Amino acid sequence: MWKGRFQKETSDLVKRYGESVSFDWRLYAQDIRGSMAQADGLLRAGILTTAECRQIKSGLREIEKEIQDGRFTWKFSLEDVHMNIESALTERIGAAGAKLHTARSRNDQVATDARLYCRDEGAVMSGLMRDLQRALVRSAAAHVEVILPGYTHLQRGQPVLFAHHLLAYVEMLDRDAGRLDDAMRRLNVSPLGSGALAGSTIVLDREYVAAQLGFDGVTRNSMDAVSDRDFMAELLFVIALCGVHLSRLAEDIILWASAEFAFITLDDAHTTGSSLMPQKKNPDVAELTRGKCGRLIGNLVSLLTTLKGLPMTYNRDLQEDKERLFDSIDTLKMALAVNAEMITAMQVNGSVCRAAASDPFLLATDLADYLVKKGLPFRHAHEVIGKLTAFSLTEKRGFPDMTLEEFRQFSDEFSDDVFAVLNLETALAARQAPGAPSPAGVAAEIKRWQKSLGKPARKR
Ligand code: ARG
């Protein structure tokens, strides 16, 4: 492609070092779409005749079909997806093919392809996030009556509904999907026409070309456009953070599936055995999710590190962006899908959850609130219940097994009605603030999510 200036062939080692077609072939659909729009632009500018434009498009369509059918021969010597496709086109249709790259550089071309790829895959990821949300909401709805301990510091804190716990992840995923939407909105502008870095003396109608590709507009600065990978870094951040959320969910699942908790039983289809210990049933899906999150964070950091020292404008370093991008997208898509499947199939052991939630200490805060309602300042009430807890621990008797006289040793504000406080149902029903886990509040949240998520996967 640049044979004019050179007297020597590129060294074989350099060819192998520099080729990207072994991975960027995955941009072929976007590259072809971009080239079709470029042809439209060239036609409009009078550079191509209608016949030439038609030739280019049908040639590109043929090439696309060959790639899809696995009949296309990718050549490492042609470096990347862009040159492979362009060279195959020219081989096929001759002169018209050689006109396609007018007013275009691989620099604006790859930036365009990458934005289109992010947009296409962004829509898929958004759908998968919604699917996982739906799976969580379905499980929440199927187990609305299940009460389990809520933890801080992994120490039992207060009772909550299992559904409330799952809906926490639905919230996280909703923010993930929102961030994805934001990133998609920002990246949806066309770099085509930015050329290598300074546009071209052959001026195409950029807005028109952008519209052919479904972009909302065009980039405003050619130097920025060819070197900007903010959109990719943003997407990798959105993916990494979603990965962090999935990793936290994974950790809950792993704990819950242990014999120590036994709050859930994972389906056989989502666990593996041990080659040595016959009894084992391991939560590998969750562990892999937790582990793969490291890759997602790594990919983000890797891209940011690649970008940080780059002078204007395009530098070949940028070729390092694509494997990070592909890997993060592939990994997150799989993680979202497999976790939705796992959540859908897992069994919830309601009675075990309830037994754990029946630990009387979970209602210590409720007892303090009881004293507050009798007029005690909260700090005093906290201290009274703290002493009562110490007493309960030495006596080895829970709050419900203590007499009113014993309660009254700690405060004369206690009366007969204290025992009504020590009831899980009452305690949960009393948590009525917006966002708190009263059964009525949680049921309303489930309804709201069911309504907003709907049934079919959201397609854009
Ligand atoms: N394969 C290159 C990349 O991924 C395409 C752009 C190459 N541009 C250049 N001037 N070498 O970044």
pLDDT tens for 428-443 read 999 999 999 999 999 9
> What residues contact 282, with CB distance under 8 A and at least 6 apart?
271, 272, 273, 274
Mean pLDDT of the chain: 97
Q: Is the CB of 234 under 6 A from ligand 1?
A: no
Residue 445 lies in a domain: no
**Range 188-194 average pLDDT:** 98
Q: Give the domain CATH number at 61.
A: 1.10.275.10
Report which residue type is found at 81.
V
Q: Check whether 260 has a pLDDT greater than 90.
A: yes
Give the burial class of 168: count Cβ atoms within 10 A of its Cβ; 0-12 exposed, 13-18 middle, 19 or more buried: middle
Residue at a domain's end among 53, 68, 102: 102
Cα 460 to ligand 1 centre (Å): 30
Report which residue type is found at 208.
Y
Query: Do 336 and 375 lie in a common domain?
Result: no
Query: Do 178 and 234 lie in a common domain?
Result: yes
State how far the Cα of 377 lies from the Cα of 380, in Å rounded to an integer. Answer: 5
Q: Check whether 1 has a pLDDT greater than 80.
A: no
With tokens 């793969």, the residue in question is 292
Report the number of distinct structural domains present in the chain.
Answer: 3
Residue at a domain's end among 356, 380, 414: 356
State how far the Cα of 147 lies from the Cα of 143, in Å rounded to an integer. Answer: 9
Q: Is the CB of 431 under 6 A from ligand 1?
A: no
Residue 460 lies in a domain: no
Query: Do 90 and 133 lie in a common domain?
Result: no
> What band does 460 get if pLDDT is binned at 50, 70 and 90?
very low
| Whether 179 contacts 235, CB under 8 Å | no
State how far the Cα of 330 lies from the Cα of 103, in Å rounded to an integer. Answer: 33
Instruction: List 189's β-bridge partners, or say none.
Output: 217
Q: What is the pLDDT of residue 456?
A: 52
| Whether 193 contacts 177, CB under 8 Å | no
Q: Give the domain CATH number at 294.
A: 1.20.200.10
Residue 275 tokens, joined: 């080659």
Query: Do 146 and 176 lie in a common domain?
Result: yes
pTM over 0.85: yes
Residue 215 lies in a domain: no
Cα 197 to ligand 1 centre (Å): 12
Q: What is the dihedral of CA 309, 315, 318, 320, to 10 degrees?
A: -90
Peptide bond into 102 cis (omega under 30): no
Full domain range(s) for residue 193: 107-205+220-356
Phi, then psi, of 39 in degrees rounded to 5 = -60, -40
Q: Is the CB of 80 under 6 A from ligand 1?
A: yes
Of 7-11, 35-39, 103-107, 142-146, the one with minimum mean pLDDT is: 7-11
Q: Check whether 270 has a pLDDT greater than 60.
A: yes
Query: Do 262 and 124 lie in a common domain?
Result: yes
Query: Do 50 and 153 lie in a common domain?
Result: no
pLDDT (tens digit per residue) in 213-252: 999 999 999 999 999 999 999 999 999 999 999 999 999 9
| Whether 267 contacts 253, CB under 8 Å | no
Query: Do 194 and 126 lie in a common domain?
Result: yes
| Whether 190 contacts 183, CB under 8 Å | no
CA angle 435, 436, 440 (to 5 degrees): 95
Residue 438 lies in a domain: no
Q: Give the domain CATH number at 381.
A: 1.10.40.30
Query: Do 182 and 305 lie in a common domain?
Result: yes
> What band does 4 get if pLDDT is binned at 50, 70 and 90?
confident
Residue 451 lies in a domain: no
Query: Do 96 and 130 lie in a common domain?
Result: no
Residue at a domain's end among 296, 321, 356: 356
CA angle 410, 411, 412 (to 5 degrees): 135
Counting from 1 in the atom list of ligand 1, the atom nearest the Cα of 80 is 1
Residue 458 lies in a domain: no
Residue 89 tokens, joined: 């086109």
Residue 335 lies in a domain: yes
Query: Do 346 and 370 lie in a common domain?
Result: no
Query: Do 128 and 63 lie in a common domain?
Result: no
* Chain-centroid distance, C-alpha 138: 20
Instruction: List 366's β-bridge partners, or say none.
Output: none
Strand blocks (E) in 282-362: 347-348
Q: Check whether 72 has a pLDDT greater than 60.
A: yes
Residue 417 lies in a domain: yes
Residue 200 tokens, joined: 């071209």
CA angle 251, 177, 242 (to 5 degrees): 30
pLDDT (tens digit per residue) in 88-123: 999 999 999 999 999 999 999 999 999 999 999 999
State how far the Cα of 24 lies from the Cα of 81, in Å rounded to an integer. Answer: 6
Pocket test for ligand 1, best of 27, 105, 110, 307 (most atoms within 8 A of CB): 110
User: Distance of CA 337 to CAs 130, 134, 201, 299, Å?
Assistant: 10, 12, 48, 20
Query: Do 421 and 313 lie in a common domain?
Result: no
Q: Is the CB of 110 under 6 A from ligand 1?
A: yes
Helical axes 230-257 vs 162-187, angle rounded to 10°: 170
